[in-house]
Amino acid sequence: MQDFRDKVAVITGGGSGIGLGIARALAQAGAKLVIADLDEGAAKRAAEALRGLGAESLAVATDVRRSESVEALADRVDRELGGADLLFNNAGVYLGGPMRRATEDDWRFVMDVNLDGVFRVGRTFTKRMLDRGRGGYVVNTASVGGFLSYGPGVAYSASKYAVVAYSEAMRMDLEPDGIGVSTLCPGPIDTNLPASDRIRGAAERAGGFSEALAPLTRGGMKPDQVGPIVLAGIRNRLPYIFTHDDLREAFAARFQTVMDCFDRIGAPPGS
């Protein structure tokens, strides 16, 4: 997909952060925008700001943890805009803290949004893309944490590794039908992800806290810098869209460790 003019783009988690940064880039490219967010007020403010940039935009309160909410979003997009051409599967949360303190509630909270939510949204919208037969494009937001795991973010890392695998499988499955798929793997971005605790249930037993991410994201890349990178990645049909070139060495070290382990298959202990 090279030209975004008049294309209908649905962005989950679009009321702020990376989602809004992508929306602004798409607005400048002439796309029609659907801002889906759990925070209805944020979605409406974002849609209004995008209209100020000259873009047709629609705000829809959406909870990716609920299939009926996702279906209602898709129904509205079909009814009012003729269906989605682009899907940005971007809603996400974070919890951090020592792995040994993680609770089942921590795990379920993160997975329900970051992995199950991505699946719910992806399944719903790609089915409709396939039914319409006019192709399309999907960008699933993972993270560099989908390749570089670390103990203090066990549920987050596990969810993002899974999104990478999901996106790779989706890309292979949908490419013959003219639907492209990229995995967005951002590094530190200055967003409100460290405030994810605000949407947790009051009865949940917390072992991890989202504020643990704040030292990493504070002063990070601005979301408006991410949008043009994502659009360039789509135009080039990249399997992975990275934002931070300075992480290249960390990736090289990880994959070298993997290759070294192949070289050591059957090696005597200590060799």
Domain range spanning residue 164?
Answer: 8-263
Q: Among residues 156, 161, 166, 240, which one is catalytic?
A: 156
The answer to whether residue 268 sits within a structural domain is: no
3-state secondary structure 154-166: HHHHHHHHHHHHH
pLDDT at 20: 97
Percent of the chain with pLDDT over 90: 81
The answer to whether residue 3 sits within a structural domain is: no
**Which of 11, 12, 8, 133 lies closest to 66, judged by CA?**
12
The answer to whether residue 269 sits within a structural domain is: no
The answer to whether residue 270 sits within a structural domain is: no
- Check: CB of residue 87 under 8 Å from CB of residue 138: yes
170-188 average pLDDT score: 97
The answer to whether residue 19 sits within a structural domain is: yes
The answer to whether residue 271 sits within a structural domain is: no
Asked about 156 being catalytic, the answer comes back as yes
Amino acid 106 reads D
Q: How far is CA 37 from CA 65, 119, 224, 271, in A?
A: 12, 16, 18, 53
pLDDT by residue (tens digit) across 16-28?
999 999 999 999 9
Tally of domains within the chain: 1
Percent of the chain with pLDDT over 70: 100
Starting at the earlier edge strand, list the strands of the sheet with 136-141. 57-61, 32-37, 8-12, 86-89, 136-141, 179-185, 240-242
Task: Give the separation between CA 93 and CA 228, rounded to whole angstroms.
Answer: 23
Task: Give the separation between CA 200 and CA 204, rounded to whole angstroms.
Answer: 7
The answer to whether residue 241 sits within a structural domain is: yes
Query: At residue 1, does pLDDT exceed 80?
Result: no
The tokens of 89 are what? 């599967």
- Which CATH number do you get for residue 227? 3.40.50.720
The answer to whether residue 140 sits within a structural domain is: yes
